[in-house]
Amino acid sequence: MRLNVVTMTEPTSAEPVMTWLWEMPDGTRAGVVEHTASPQWELRIVKSGRLLDCERCASFSDLIAAAMAAHYKADRN
């Protein structure tokens, strides 16, 4: 995954987060955005209103794998 740090409002009407998949005790959490264009799914890792990482996934199984990997990485930091 690539690391991008930008300010983000949670969620915006233009790109609403469908659901939050997990949240760590420090407030880091993972959300899913669904897009109409391919790749359809986007995983967003957010902490304190800042977008730490994002990854577009073509399939739901890729999205879940990315979310699990991000959780593992966040748990180790």
The per-residue pLDDT for 15 is: 61
72 or 5, greater pLDDT: 72
Asked if residue 77 has pLDDT above 60, the reply is: yes
Task: Give every CB contact of residue 64 below 8 A, 6+ residues apart in sequence.
Answer: none
Which regions of the chain does DSSP assign to beta strands (E)? 6-7, 19-23, 29-34, 41-47, 50-57
Place 5 in a pLDDT band, splitting at 50, 70 and 90.
Answer: very low
Which residue type sits at 28?
T
Summarize pLDDT for 22-67 with one digit per residue, the tens: 999 999 999 999 888 889 999 999 999 899 999 999 999 999 999 9
The per-residue pLDDT for 70 is: 96
Domain ranges in the chain are: 6-76
